[in-house]
């Protein structure tokens, strides 16, 4: 049994952080029904996104009143509704928070958007790079005198959007089950979450410990003890020897001048120290460095590509990947590989006593398509 066994999630189809949040609920034991839009144009093939696996898929035309009625019938057996539309879209089709809570006040309604439900630009479109830009965090990423470098779409979409949506769902379940709360709606704004993830950086900035030149600070590649270095075979190692005791081990293992240990935090010497370290790391291959520094506290690791990450002995020893893909449920000690696939959409229709005549009608008129 998993923590979210017995929880049913209705996922109104979206891209990026929404599916990954739904997949996290699923891997923790929930049953997920994804409502796909018959008129959507998919940016990527569905099979290319692992977060879309294992759920129940139905296509429902929510522009048709029959489609909305069908969702209303499903809501009687739903615990979490997750949607990622712009503000007022769900209200316009009759599935806003008030509409949903009038049918089932115990539904936890999670609204996952870039800008949030309110504010001066909440009605406009955007993607991870835009949310990250407004959060302040994008300005910190990249090299000095070059444009900021977006970190793929990991920070705003997934680090902020997915994880805060999951927190909202877990918080809502607790509120409903333990505090008897009803009519719960959570407004997850990705740009806000991205700012929150950077709380330390705001603090360092306010304390005068972070300057505006990208790539010159403690944690952005400016410090010689916190950056990546090229190796003899044109691969890379990552160095993260922040604490003096770890940096001391690094300098000693690399047989570099002992004075560098005491000079660690002398900002003006960082370029010189980085040059020394760069020369040393070019003398061996990435794998040679991994073997040499294994079981030390030098905080040096190989920079792996995605395929190599799946095959690394540490990941294998922890079962970090399931069916060759990353997993969210390795925090669980038991039943990690079990998924709640027993129910079908037909059995859910039966459970909720949705009339066969109604289902036949919406299938025939194209409002409902069962995948």
Q: Is 250:241 a contact under the CB 8 Å cutoff?
A: yes
Tokens (6 digits) for 262: 């005491």
Strand ranges for 140-247 from DSSP E:
185-189, 226-230, 236-240
Helix axes 17-27, 163-179, angle to 10 degrees: 50
Strand ranges for 250-330 from DSSP E:
300-302, 321-322, 325-326
13, 151, 157 from 367: Cα distances, Å? 16, 39, 31
**What is the Cα–Cα distance from 116 to 18, expressed in whole angstroms?**
14
- Biggest alpha carbon distance in the chain? 83
**What is the Cα–Cα distance from 33 to 8, expressed in whole angstroms?**
8
Active site residue 157: yes
> DSSP class of residue 85?
P
Q: Is 144:216 a contact under the CB 8 Å cutoff?
A: yes
Active site residue 145: no
Cβ count near 323 (within 10 Å): 8
**What is the Cα–Cα distance from 170 to 80, expressed in whole angstroms?**
10
61, 79, 101, 157: the active-site residue: 157
**What is the Cα–Cα distance from 195 to 201, expressed in whole angstroms?**
9
49, 66, 127, 297: the active-site residue: 127
Q: Is 231:284 a contact under the CB 8 Å cutoff?
A: yes
195, 219, 227, 296 from 263: Cα distances, Å? 32, 17, 17, 22
Classify burial at 171, counting beta carbons within 10 Å of its beta carbon; exposed 0-12, middle 13-18, buried 19 or more: middle
**What is the Cα–Cα distance from 17 to 153, expressed in whole angstroms?**
10
Nearest to 58 by CA among 356, 351, 353, 347: 347
Active-site residues, by number, are 127, 157
């Amino acid at each position: 049994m998993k923590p979210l066994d017995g929880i049913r999630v209705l996922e109104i189809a979206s891209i990026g952080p929404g599916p990954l949040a739904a997949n996290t609920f699923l891997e923790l034991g929930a049953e997920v029904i994804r409502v796909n839009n018959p008129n959507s144009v998919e940016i990527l093939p569905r099979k290319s996104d692992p977060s879309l696996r294992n759920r129940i898929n139905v296509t429902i035309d929510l522009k048709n009143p029959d489609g909305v009625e069908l969702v209303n019938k499903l809501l009687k057996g739903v615990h979490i509704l997750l949607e990622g539309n712009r503000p007022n879209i769900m209200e316009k089709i009759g599935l806003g928070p008030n509409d949903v809570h009038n049918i089932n006040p115990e539904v936890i309604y999670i609204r996952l958007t870039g800008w949030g439900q309110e504010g001066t630009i909440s009605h406009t479109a955007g993607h991870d790079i835009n949310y990250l830009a407004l959060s302040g965090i994008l300005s910190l990423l990249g090299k000095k005198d070059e444009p900021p470098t977006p970190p793929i779409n990991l920070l705003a979409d997934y680090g902020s959007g997915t994880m805060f949506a999951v927190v909202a769902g877990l918080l809502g379940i607790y509120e409903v089950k333990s505090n008897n709360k009803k009519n719960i709606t959570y407004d997850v704004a990705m740009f806000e979450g991205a700012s929150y993830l950077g709380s330390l950086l705001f603090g360092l900035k306010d304390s005068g410990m972070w300057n505006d030149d990208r790539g010159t600070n403690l944690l952005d590649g400016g410090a010689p003890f916190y950056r990546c270095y090229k190796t003899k075979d044109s691969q890379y190692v990552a160095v993260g020897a922040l604490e003096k005791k770890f940096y001391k081990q690094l300098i000693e293992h690399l047989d570099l001048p002992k004075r560098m240990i005491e000079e660690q935090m002398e900002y003006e010497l960082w370029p010189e120290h980085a040059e020394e370290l760069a020369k040393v790391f070019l003398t061996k291959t990435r794998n040679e460095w991994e073997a040499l520094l294994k079981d030390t506290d030098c905080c040096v690791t190989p920079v792996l590509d995605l395929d190599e990450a799946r095959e690394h002995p540490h990941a294998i020893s922890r079962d970090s990947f399931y069916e060759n893909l990353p997993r969210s449920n390795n925090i669980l000690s038991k039943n990690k590989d079990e998924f709640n696939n027993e129910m079908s959409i037909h059995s859910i229709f039966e459970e909720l006593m949705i009339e066969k005549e109604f289902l036949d009608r919406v299938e025939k008129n194209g409002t409902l398509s069962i995948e």
